[in-house]
Amino acid sequence: MEAASERGFDYHFVVEEKAMHDFIVRSIVKAGADESQGESVARMLLYADSRGHFSHGINRLQLYIKDLQTNTCNSKGKPKILKQKGGTAFVDGDNALGSVVGEFCTELAISLAKKHGIGWVTANNSNHFGAAGRYGHLAADAGLIGFAMTNTSPLVFPTRASQKALGTNPLACVAPAENGDHFALDMAISTVSLGKVEVANRKEKEAVPHGWGANSKGVEEQNPKVILDKGGLLPLGGIEERGGYKGSGLGMMVDLLCGVLGGAHFGKNVRAWAKSHTKADLGQCFIALDPECFADGFAQNLKQFLDEMRNLEPTDPKLPVRVPGDFSKSHGALIAHSGGLVYHKSQIEQLQKLAKDIDAPFFDTKPFQKP
Amino acid sequence: MEAASERGFDYHFVVEEKAMHDFIVRSIVKAGADESQGESVARMLLYADSRGHFSHGINRLQLYIKDLQTNTCNSKGKPKILKQKGGTAFVDGDNALGSVVGEFCTELAISLAKKHGIGWVTANNSNHFGAAGRYGHLAADAGLIGFAMTNTSPLVFPTRASQKALGTNPLACVAPAENGDHFALDMAISTVSLGKVEVANRKEKEAVPHGWGANSKGVEEQNPKVILDKGGLLPLGGIEERGGYKGSGLGMMVDLLCGVLGGAHFGKNVRAWAKSHTKADLGQCFIALDPECFADGFAQNLKQFLDEMRNLEPTDPKLPVRVPGDFSKSHGALIAHSGGLVYHKSQIEQLQKLAKDIDAPFFDTKPFQKP
């Protein structure tokens, strides 16, 4: 519970995983897709909520439903392989739900990696696929190192630019270590997600830290209201002299491997965030790599590496050193202790509204109790 | 000359490439390696100096000579393939000069990519390989997308740690676009290199920007003297609330793919910077990917992507938007105009001392003239 407590316990309700799963399936079916697609979306959203990545969990259900209702996402989409050579494959996502494309491509990358040591799959014609780390974890569950990347709607100012022309373009890398341990990096190339600025604004903070966002001209800005009013995010590092050009370059690399290599939309041409006026045509990249093809003892070596990092003397004794994935793991422990997924009341209220709108039966909740 | 002028013209001497090349070969041969290894080192250092990456050019010759003189690097080293499956290969660097290992592995990755669409090569038992972007460019010259990564000596404090346990662990990605254009990302995962802090200190600046470095306890510090006196670098982003944990996570990812996957030294166990008391045993990763395996028209699409970025309205009209590699390209134009490599006088003085120490004939210089 240690790391989870560092994040605070700002929860009010507990929901059984099965109940939430069934609600998601019901909602997606109501919106026109079939049950197997609903199951895929449920796996995607529960992955995120069970790790405390609320910005990629049930909060996003409404967006997927809107894409289905407007037919800008193909409710009957079936991804297909367009080219295959050695360890590589090129996939047409058929404008299916992002989770459906992501699971298809990850399974393909895993099977290519088992045969060729490495599987590198690029897809176009895809949609928002949730938390990138989820696809990395699917590969890690098969004993492989898994990567996933996607381009996204332009929310970030490239260094020096006065126009948002890059997405938050997440990059995930997940690797299995001994005794069920993992390295699980899942990061946007912006300093923070838009969600963090929204939370600061809701809490009426006057300023967010340097490097988070900019005003509508791309000039660094700390007032969350100004950032949210036609401003946007800054790439990791913030302004140029603090290294922001590296975050900007990383974001372009992700887009190159997703949008450009996939022949999908890229850069400023990706559709605006949360708009369902036209299809998204996102580019995505999924990689699986077999550690057996390299030095012996990868899982043991990785465990040693992770533990050596965690055991470094911290600068502040109250804040122990973490490796990527540790916060998610502690959230998992909180859920096991609480007997279900934990939510803030605003999330449950938003879902009740959604359930009413689409006329889907709701689920039971229990009150959250601090451990 | 536009972008080069943004960096200032702090040069005093011009040296013909051929003269510098021959001097490097002579020096490496004096230190005990054969001519072909000297040629490899010359290609590595001239790559960096011709692009204005002085921290990875001739400035580093002394380090390579020291490694050879102390026999902590194998002057007769010949990298060999230990395992090969599909698109992957695992290489023993045989403790050869880093440039020799890097060229061997990149050529191997290229030939694997031509056959399997993708080549992924991991090496252990290697040494400092200069600028990572060089290996990416070798792949790009073959029409492929090239990546290179290496772990390095611990100079960076992982987020929350009071001990330097990560290298600057560079990551390069180079891709060929239409009409000879390139995307050429080559970045350390620290906000800046140690060299930038040293330059600030030499210029007697009282403070460097936030996010560059920390004191000996890992606490952010702006005084370059304190950073250089047992302090160190911060990961890209700087402190935790400004996203430094992402730079820290990226640095761990690079080490995972290099040191951990290669069974080489990793993390805090890599030998200290510029010390030749024991062999380096660095882990390195080289990837080549054939864009022909994905959507048609990659070179054209990439050109469009790069030009759309460059043509974004800048926040400050005097500072146009750049994509990774543009500064290097403008330095190349400066060299073509000057008729040779350009250097600050301190670099030439340092080389004169080195030439005297190892009794190697020096080269001619011409005075630099601002274009």
Indicate if A228 and A137 belong to the same structural domain.
Answer: no
pLDDT digits (tens, 9 = 90+) for B164-211: 999 999 999 999 999 999 999 999 999 998 888 988 998 889 999 999
Q: Given this model, what pLDDT does residue A70 score?
A: 94
Give which of A67, A28, A68, A31 is closest to A44, Cα–Cα: A28
The CATH number assigned to the domain holding B142 equals 3.30.1370.60
Place of tokens 């098969």: A142
B258 lies in which domain range? 80-187+242-293
Q: Given this model, what pLDDT does residue B180 score?
A: 97
Indicate if B170 and B250 belong to the same structural domain.
Answer: yes
Residue A7 confidence (pLDDT) above 80 = no
What part of A 223-282 touches B (C-beta under 8 Å)? 236-238, 241-243, 245-247, 249-250, 252-253, 255-257, 259-264, 266-269
Residue A51 confidence (pLDDT) above 80 = yes
Residue B4 confidence (pLDDT) above 70 = no
Distances in Å between the alpha carbon of B167 and those of A326, B170, B253? 21, 8, 12
In this complex, do B305 and A252 lie within 8 Å of one another by their Cβ atoms?
yes
Q: Look at residue A75 and tell me if it is in a domain.
A: no
The strand order across the sheet containing B220-221 reads: B220-221, B213-214, B232-233
Mean pLDDT over A256-278 rounds to 93
Q: Interface pTM (ipTM) of the complex?
A: 0.97
- Chain B residue at shortest CA distance from A302: B260
Q: What is the mean pLDDT of chain A?
A: 95
What part of A 341-370 touches B (C-beta under 8 Å)? none
Q: How many domains does chain B have?
A: 3
Q: For residue B62, give how far its alpha carbon lies from the nearest alpha carbon of chain A (Å).
A: 29
**C-alpha triplet B300, B304, B305: angle, nearest 5°:** 115
Indicate if A161 and A27 belong to the same structural domain.
Answer: no
Give which of A147, A145, A149, A138 is closest to A117, Cα–Cα: A145
Residue-level length of chain A: 371
Q: Given this model, what pLDDT does residue A285 score?
A: 98
Indicate if A64 and A87 belong to the same structural domain.
Answer: no
- The reply to whether the predicted model has a pTM over 0.90 is yes
Q: Are A212 and A192 in contact (CB under 8 A)?
A: yes
Using the Cβ of B210 and the Cβ atoms of chain A, whether some distance falls under 8 Å is answered with yes
Indicate if A100 and A182 belong to the same structural domain.
Answer: yes
Per-residue DSSP letter, B371: -
Q: Look at residue B149 and tell me if it is in a domain.
A: yes
The residue of A242, A245, A258 whose CB has the most chain B CBs within 10 angstroms, and thus the best one to mutate to test that interface, is A242
pLDDT band at B367 (very low <50, low <70, confident <90, very high): very high
Q: Write out the two tokens for A262.
A: 């996939």
Q: Given this model, what pLDDT does residue B10 score?
A: 86
Mean pLDDT over A96-105 rounds to 98
Indicate if A118 and A131 belong to the same structural domain.
Answer: yes
Segment among A151-160, A190-199, A281-290, B256-265 with least mean pLDDT? A190-199
Strand partners of residue A341? A15
Residue A201 confidence (pLDDT) above 60 = yes
Per-residue DSSP letter, A360: -
* Chain B residue numbers touching A183 (CB-CB < 8 A): 252-253, 256
Give which of B94, B165, B285, B170 is closest to A304, Cα–Cα: B165
What part of B 113-172 touches A (C-beta under 8 Å)? 115-118, 120, 122, 124, 145, 157-163, 165
In this complex, do B312 and A163 lie within 8 Å of one another by their Cβ atoms?
yes
Give which of B349, B65, B324 is closest to A246, Cα–Cα: B324
- Chain A residue at shortest CA distance from B212: A242
Mean pLDDT over A163-192 rounds to 98
Q: Look at residue B226 and tell me if it is in a domain.
A: yes
Indicate if B251 and B345 belong to the same structural domain.
Answer: no
Indicate if B168 and B285 belong to the same structural domain.
Answer: yes
pLDDT band at B313 (very low <50, low <70, confident <90, very high): very high
Q: Look up residue A149 and give its amino acid.
A: M
pLDDT digits (tens, 9 = 90+) for B108-151: 999 999 999 999 999 999 999 999 999 999 999 999 999 999 99
- Residue A174 phi/psi, 5-degree rounding, is -125, 135
Tell me how far apart the alpha carbons of residues B173 and B176 are, in angstroms, rounded to a whole number: 10
Mean pLDDT over A189-204 rounds to 90
Q: Look at residue A273 and tell me if it is in a domain.
A: yes
pLDDT band at A175 (very low <50, low <70, confident <90, very high): very high
Q: For residue B177, give how far its alpha carbon lies from the nearest alpha carbon of chain A (Å).
A: 11
Indicate if B152 and B284 belong to the same structural domain.
Answer: yes
Write down which residue in A293, A310, A326 finishes a domain: A293
Q: Look at residue A308 and tell me if it is in a domain.
A: no
The CATH number assigned to the domain holding B207 equals 3.30.60.50
Residue A10 confidence (pLDDT) above 60 = yes
Tell me how far apart the alpha carbons of residues B33 and B97 are, in angstroms, rounded to a whole number: 9
Q: Look at residue A309 and tell me if it is in a domain.
A: no
Q: Are B124 and B61 in contact (CB under 8 A)?
A: no
Residue A2 confidence (pLDDT) above 60 = no
Indicate if A48 and A181 belong to the same structural domain.
Answer: no
Mean pLDDT over A148-155 rounds to 97
Q: Look at residue A19 and tell me if it is in a domain.
A: yes
Mean pLDDT over A297-306 rounds to 98
Mean pLDDT over A130-138 rounds to 97
* Chain A residue numbers touching B320 (CB-CB < 8 A): 160
pLDDT band at B67 (very low <50, low <70, confident <90, very high): very high
